[in-house]
Structure 1
Amino acid sequence: MHRFDGSSFVGQIPGTAPAIPGMFPNMLPLTGQQFGALPVMPVQAMTQQATRHARRVYVGGLPPSANEQSVATFFSHVMSIIGGNTAGPDSGDSVVNVYINHEKKFAFVEMRSVEEASNAMALDGIMFEGTPVKVRRPTDYNPSLAATLGPSQPNPCLNLGAVGLTPGSAGGLEGPDRIFVGGLPYYLTEAQIRELLESFGPLRGFDLVKDRETGNSKGYAFCVYQDLSVTDIACTALNGIKMGDKTLTVRRANQGISQPKPEQESVLLHVQQQIALQKLMLQPGVPATKVLCLTQVVTADELKDDEDYEDIMEDMRTECGKFGTLVKVVIPRPNPNGEPSPGVGKVFLEYADVDSATKARSGLDGRKFGGNTVIAVFYPENKLYQGEYEG
């Protein structure tokens, strides 16, 4: 039997009978019948061996606290909740064996049947001890052989909503709306990439592809949005953006770049400024400064009237001054003649020190103003001093 990473044993779930070489838990013991001094393996044992590749699932991204017992208990419990037990809710645990590689934070979970293993594939992205884990087929999975052993796809009637997953998506990363995100700088973290992608809305599924040996990013990812109507908008807005020495390639995973429909153009324009600021946040080497740039706080129409403008300035001084001493508040106004004016819609805050600006960023970023979520990023001090209001 193939062993992974030089391991010489398979972790047993506490409470189960110890493994006998060539056997698995829940198997009948070898018969006492002898033939030429070799034990005869019963039909059940041979069946277990032949179906094992199709009954195991790979679970990646486990937290350090995970152990064989906790993984087995969790997946057996979840399978029962979603109705994934093919032998019925009172038939016992669907997990019969677990092997964990603690160093690389993954496990192989052996299910009781091929059908239950296929149902478990729907659990991709489920939260385990506060961490979303990946559920995949192991590398020794043979699709053509497995097709003769039982269903290879999850039952469409599984109650995935009971465990916080979106039904019918196999973890959210399948189907025509799956997006490929390539050209990602290797220094970006998963959280930073998600933050950029979620400018368009919450994600149903996200997977940053990593090297199995090193755990480092391979520079590309896949995602699916909860609202599938923003798929083309996100692809169009993000594709071609430069980040450091990289250029993003963002498209549907199974086809070329699609253009947004006419009715989506206003949404696309609305997020362009947000994307530019997210891009600024994700650039390497951009330190914390004394200056913050806020977006999604004011609109051009609100800045046209002098009295309204002064009210907004006073509100900004009062609210943003709670985090430290404000040296300057700059709110660019639209030109009366209608010509484009740089920075309209942004608010620039200069604090007396970096510490105050850092506190303000933490306190203001993500807050709701007028139904919109405010984005607060550090802004280069020299650009503010030179009157440059485009990031």
Structure 2
Amino acid sequence: MDLVRLQPATIASFGQVPGTTPAIPGMFPNMFPLPGQFGVPVMPVQAMTQQATRHARRVYVGGLPPTANEQSVATFFSQVMAAIGGNTAGPGDAVVNVYINHEKKFAFVEMRSVEEASNAMALDGIIFEGAPVKVRRPSDYNPSLAATLGPSQPNPNLNLAAVGLTPGSAGGLEGPDRVFVGGLPYYFTEAQIRELLESFGPLRGFDLVKDRETGNSKGYAFCVYQDLSVTDIACAALNGIKMGDKTLTVRRANQGASQPKPEQENVLLQAQQQVALQRLVFQGGALPTKVVCLTQIVGADELKDDEEYEDIMEDMKGEGGKYGTLVNVVIPRPNPNGEPSPGVGKVFLEYADVDGSAKARQGLNGRKFGGNQVEAVFYPEYKFHEGDYDG
């Protein structure tokens, strides 16, 4: 059977012929011999196309357990992709290849199509063999080129609940300007973290990573700034800052630490001064939380009598309610058997929001009750909710 040469009109639409791979931007179809020219088969064109799209068809999977191997990773991701409805290239397994670095516990998982790789990005945090794994773009990912090859974001209609995931709030958090913020104290709220990050400008996207079962912070987040030119400034200014007993790690998510350009140095200096001022606010006792702890306000003897205790409780509810909506008032009492009881002598006021607690702290600190000068400080919410009143 003779091979038929393609006419010019057909060549122009070569990337749209059913069953062939779409043409690559910047690569003309006639750069490679067509069927029948010099007897060269079509396969090299397909091979070159696969190579050119590989950066957009692969995902990085980090945090793998030691028991992981190529087959188990390929089977797992093919199964979960099918379960969430992420397969778009037809029947069969989505995964075509897996490379594992056992020493560093990561893998590159290659999908059949760019769209399937983008859908796989929604699997970040999925539990594999008992451990949550990170799903990221590889370091060679080229966002601008990938945008011409297919969707760069996961399909919003994926059934993530089928594999125990919930859709993240990290919309728009892909690409080279994505910032990793690690070393966050677990009791930091989203509002407090955003406030710190937005010292450098408004955010286009923000995602505080939380435990799926408890809803508690995992101590790290991702963000992207609206003004991309401040990214390196923010990273340089925030990286290494002490927050309580932790040290922040702030860098571009896809790169190591990068230095700001010379023309950014003045802005960086101003930013560092601003962060230094904010750091004073974010240190222990001054970090805004919804809970205010009052000391030097009641004595242990006053708390032993039930009627007196009830009077004190009512007084605290009335006084504390002047500043905002009170959710709870806790006044630890001494143990009847005389054993030490945590928090005796303290009063804890929990408010519905930080605005109320901030007003209460300002209004009550330094006030005198019964001849005693009250000290009011913010108290970590996680300690309060755990019944830890010794802090």
**Which has the larger Rg?**
2
Instruction: Return the TM-score normalized by structure 2.
Output: 0.47
